[in-house]
Each structure stands twice: as C-alpha cells, then as structure tokens.
Chain A
Amino acid sequence: MKLYSLSVIFKGATKANLLKAAYDLSSFSFFQRSSVQEFMTFTSALIVERTSQGTRASVKEQEYLCHVYVRNDNLGAVVIADTEYPQRVCFTLLDKVLEEFSRQVDSIDWPSGSPETINYKALDIHLSKYQNPREADAMTKVQAELDETKIILHNTMESLLERGEKLDDLVAKSEHLGNQSKAFYKTARKQNSCCEIM
C-alpha cells in the first residue's frame, strides 16, 4: 500500500491554486518521475476544482485512488494513493494536514500563494510517516470517527467533468503540465493504454 502525493490546494472562484505539495515517486522509473509529478498536480488541482465545499470524495482512476476534502473555507487537500491503502486513514491525514496548515499559514495568503511563497514544511514528513498506515494512526480510533457513507465515490475522472468537457482538452490547456507531459499523454491515449503513469 502506497501514498504517492499529498497536496494542499485552495479552491478559488474560477480555478484551484496549488499551495504546497509533497511526492513519493520512488516506485516510478527515473525518467518518468517529472511527468508523473506533473500529472499528479494536474489531477489534484482538477479534483479540487470539481469538488464542492464541505465535501469528501474518492476518485478512482486505474490503479490509483485520489482522496479529497474541501473544507467550507475553500481550503482543500488531496492525497493520491493506491487501491490497497485504507481510505479512512487517508481522510484522517487530510483532516490533520488541513488543520495544521490553516493554523500555520494565514488565510490571506491562500488565494494567491504558490509552493515557493508558502511557508509550510510538514507535508513531506506527513507523507513519509503515513506510508505505513498502522504506525501513523490508531486504526480503531479512526473507525469510530469517520462516517463512510458521506464520502462520494467517483469511478473515473470523467465523472467529475461537465457534459461535453473532455479530459484531453483540459490536459492540453493545463498550465501544470509541461510540453513533454502533454505529448506523452497524447501518445498514450492513441495507443489506448491511457497514460500508464496516470
């Protein structure tokens, strides 16, 4: 069971703003890593954009599960995990990160901040610690607190999109993805293997 990325994103009126992110790309081959990272950022931002305030959701895409929580104050966090990793521990992690972040970083900085300007250092540590869910959390405690029925489950990324919207267009327009990644996505799509990395 593995966690791949953890990001804090502000849900702006028109688009999502990445504030801070941590990644664990050790399971990807060396040359894939930068593309993988970009896609994870792209996906996380898209998910926050399409998730309503005060909602928790899990989005399944191939062998990845993206868990998101957007709070009522529009501060959101996304963790990308594999399908084995227990869902409830992910949501505990998201709650914890959001709470800590909102204490350390002033809300005035959220709409316009960026990973370079935001001063929050704990994300990497949290990601690393939570790689082993049992060490990081008392599972039985979490079981009691979280009401799993309130979490929306999306079976594909496509279900987040509006009618007529295509993922290909969003990829092409995205500022999170470099040219190489976009080209890679196109090729993968053509081969119908749809992005092995994402």
Chain B
Amino acid sequence: MSTTSCYSTVSANIGWTDKFVFVCLLALVDITCTLLLLNPDFTTAWNIRKELLQNGVLNPEKDLYLGKLALTKFPKSPETWIHRRWVLQQILHTFSDANHKKNEQGEREQANAVRSQQLSDHLARTLHQEMNVCSDAASRYPSNYNAWSHRVWVLQHMAKGNIKVFHDELSSMRLWVSMHVSDHSGFHYRQFLLNELITELCRASASTTWLAQQQSSTVSNSSLHQHSCTERNGELSGADTASEEERQFSLPTVLQLFLQEMELCSDLIQSFPGHETLWSHRRHIFFLWHQWRTEHQHNCHSKGENVPVDVSDGNPGMLVQSSVGQGESVNCKTHASEPMEVDTGLLPDPHDSKRLKRGVLPSCPPSLPSEHSFVSIILESCCNYEQRRFALAYKKWLGTVIGLQG
C-alpha cells in the first residue's frame, strides 16, 4: 500500500483532519529531502517523493532542484539520475496534455499561440537546465558516463530531431572537451551528436529535395517537422516553417561538420601532445566520415540526382555537390563572393602560431592522403614519446582498417 493511501485510510478511520494529514505529508517532503542529501541512492526516499508528486503535494521543479543539489556531492549517483528522468517524463506528459487540450479548444488562436510559445519556452529552459546539470556533474567526476547518458536521454526525448539544439550542443561542448582532453566521455558525446546531426541533415536534405519538387501543393505536415510541436524551440505551425527555420538558422553541411570536428581534433592533438583520447576520437571521426562518404556516394549514384545544400552562416557560400564518384576526394565548388583563404598545408602548420580562422575551412575534405600528411607533420615536429607512439598507431590503423576498405 502506498504511503499516501495509508494516510487516507488512517485519517478516515481515526478522523484526523485534512490539515494534519497534509502536515504529515509535508514532513515527509522534508524527511526524504534530508535523507537524500545524505545518501541520494536511497531509492525508497525517491519513490516516496514520486508518490507525493503524483498526489500534487510536491512540485516537480523541487525534485529537480533537490537532484541537482545531491549531484554536486554525488555526481554519479545512479538513483538520482533515474529519478530525474522520471520527473522529466512527468513534465513532458503535462506539456503534451496541455497541448492536446489547447488543440481541442481550438477557437481562440491568439491565446493558443501565446500559450504554446510559453510551453515551448518552459521546455527550452528545462532543457537548458538539464544540460547545465549534466555539465556540472561531468566536471566533478572523470568519465561520468551516468551524466552523459542522461544528457543523451534528454536530447532524445526533449529535442528529438532538433538540428539547432544538436548543433548548439556541439559548439558549446568545444570548450569542455578542450579542458578535459583525457576524458573520453566528452568526446564520446561529441561522436553521438555528430551521428545524430548527420542522420537528421540527410533526412532534412532529402525532404528539401522532395519539398522543392512539391512546389505547387501546400505542405502542412512538412517532413522536416514530423515531431510534436512542443518539442521544438520557438516553432510556429504552418506551411512556411521550413523557410522560417532557414532564416533563423542555416543548416550546416555534413562536410562542414566533419571539417570542423577534424580541425578541433587536430588543434587539440597539437596543443596537448600525448593524449590517447584525442587520437581515439580522431579515429572515430575519420571512420564516420569514411563511412558516410562511401554510403552517400553510393546513394547518390543510385538516385542519380544532385543534392545541393546551401549554407550561408558567415561562410562564403559553399555548394557541395555530393553526387560525385571521383575516388578519394569529393568535388567542392566554392561560389565565393569574396576570395576564400586557403592555407598552404591542409592543416595548420605547428610552427606557425596563427591558427585557422574560424569559419574559413580548408576547401578539401578529409582523406587518406591528408591524414597521412597530418601524421607526418606530428612525427616531424614532436618529441613527446607518447605522442609519437599514438601517431604511429594511428598511421597503422589508417593502413589496416581504412586502407583495406578502399
């Protein structure tokens, strides 16, 4: 029998006043709070709080705050993270209920628009808060996969398919991974983000083509927005959402993502010699790139069409025609309004203190030859024993794993 139903039964029998029962329930809130701050893995206490929440005695925000506090001392505590996900699910249910109610009422459009904006703002704030809690916990304990798994869960449930959120996450994580160069968990997260982004971008570009082909008909259920409205930031419903989104945020190309990631990796490898994590990350990214490029070329061959993705966020417009089957390199045409600077090497020269300017990327994508030349640069310039060892291992991997796949 649950705690609260006990109380109901007891109070009915003895005739306790509602106020007294309520006071007891509040006491429970305090007691569980104290217990959990001492030992956040005390599952029973969290479960009591679940019941209190369901009976309206407890505000979900309070539980989130308690969890956040507990995590500052016990950043790995599995029960805290588990309970947190339960609370977030409750919050999400409340949102979708509110949304359905709004849709049913349907008449007063203006009020509805305001209401849905409020809801999605609240969701955005909750999302942002979760990201902060995860970051904090990850900083307090090395390789805190509990925190990172939670972060992934939050994105999958509260920002499904939201390219902008994933992209923002990728940018905001740059500093974290730069300050935790031997912590694989941060890089593992980046690999997840990249994977998701690539999947979504491919889907988006496929539907853009489809949309372009459906010019005449009104598209009310754009395949770009196949997920519930409440899960997107600042989204308006309607047929012209695609252009709205494009105006607010230009989709990065898959190539751009890979180039930026490789640049970050190279930069860190050169700045912090001798960290295996960085080399391991490089393998992941290069392998991902290699796979994607092979698949993509194959797909485009079979479809027989160009899928141009135009990008205009600060870069000179770069049009990537992906339907090329020319061996190692993909054809990059730059329609630049101003000349694009190209460094002498593909990657920054370690003896040159200037780094590649942000937003100006090398015009050629990663390839086996460029990777081999990167390894050579490292071996030439570096005297750190570990670094040399990792560089040579990477070279061997390139030869055995990638080379054999052709």
In contact, A84 and B181 (Cβ under 8 angstroms): yes
**Contact: A134 with B271, CB < 8 Å?**
yes
Cβ 8 A contact of B181, one of A1, A140, A148: A1
A141–B180 CA distance with the chains assembled, in angstroms: 22
B181 to A, closest residue via Cβ? A84
In whole angstroms, what is the CA distance A134 to B267 when docked?
11
> In the bound complex, do residue B140 and residue A27 qualify as a contact, i.e. CB atoms below 8 Å apart?
yes
Is there contact, CB below 8 Å, between B350 and A140? yes
The SS class assigned to the A binding surface is loop
Is B182's beta carbon under 8 Å from chain A? yes
Least CB separation from B178: chain A residue: A134
Please, how many angstroms separate the alpha-carbon atoms of A108 and B61 in the complex?
A: 60
Contact present for B73 and A84 (CB under 8 Å): no
| Contacts known (A29-B73, A134-B271); A140 close to B353, Cβ less than 8 A | yes
Closest A residue to B183 using CB positions: A84
Q: Does B179 contact A (CB under 8 A)?
A: yes
**How many inter-chain contacts with C-beta < 8 Å in the A-B complex?**
24
- Determine if A138 is an interface residue (Cβ-Cβ < 8 Å): yes
- Report the count of interface residues on B (CB-CB < 8 A): 15
The docked-state distance in angstroms from the alpha carbon of A141 to that of B271 is 11
A140–B272 CA distance with the chains assembled, in angstroms: 11
Closest CB in chain B relative to A4 CB, distance in Å: 14
A167 at the interface (CB under 8 A from B): no
- For A27, A84, A86, the residue with the greatest tally of chain B CB atoms inside 10 Å of its CB is A84
Q: How far is the CA of A177 from the CA of B230 in the complex (A)?
A: 57
Taking a contact as CB atoms under 8 Å apart, the answer to whether A132 and B179 are in contact is yes
The verdict on A136 contacting chain B, using a C-beta distance below 8 Å, is no
- Chain B 169-188 interface residues, beta-carbon cutoff 8 Å to A: 178-182
Cα A138 to Cα B140 in complex, Å, equals: 28
Chain B residues near A132: list those with CB within 8 A.
179
Answer yes or no: B351 CB below 8 A from chain A CBs: yes
Q: Which of A29, A84, A139, A140 contacts B182 (CB 8 A)?
A: A84
> With A and B bound together, what is the CA distance between A110 and B292 in angstroms?
64
- Provide the residues of chain A in CB contact with B181, threshold 8 Å: 1, 84
The reply to whether B350 and A1 form a contact with Cβ atoms under 8 Å apart is no
Q: Kindly identify, within residues 50 to 104 of chain B, every residue whose CB is under 8 Å from any CB belonging to chain A.
A: 73
Chain B CB count within 10 A is highest, among A86, A134, A140, for: A140
Q: Which residues of chain A come closer than 8 Å to B180, judged between CB atoms?
A: 1, 84
Q: In whole Å, how far is B389's beta carbon from the nearest beta carbon of chain A?
A: 17
Query: Within residues 69 to 128 of chain A, which ones have a CB less than 8 A from any CB in chain B?
Result: 83-84, 86
Establish whether residues A140 and B140, one from each chain, have CB atoms under 8 Å apart when the complex forms. no
Residues of B whose CB lies within 8 Å of any CB of A are 73, 139-140, 178-182, 271-272, 275, 350-351, 353, 383
Q: Which 9 A-B pairs have the closest CB atoms?
A: A140-B353, A139-B271, A84-B182, A1-B179, A138-B353, A86-B272, A84-B181, A29-B73, A134-B271
Given pairs A84-B182, A84-B272, 17 additional interface contacts (CB within 8 A) = A1-B180, A1-B181, A27-B139, A27-B140, A29-B73, A83-B182, A84-B180, A84-B181, A86-B271, A86-B272, A132-B179, A134-B271, A138-B353, A140-B350, A140-B351, A140-B353, A148-B383
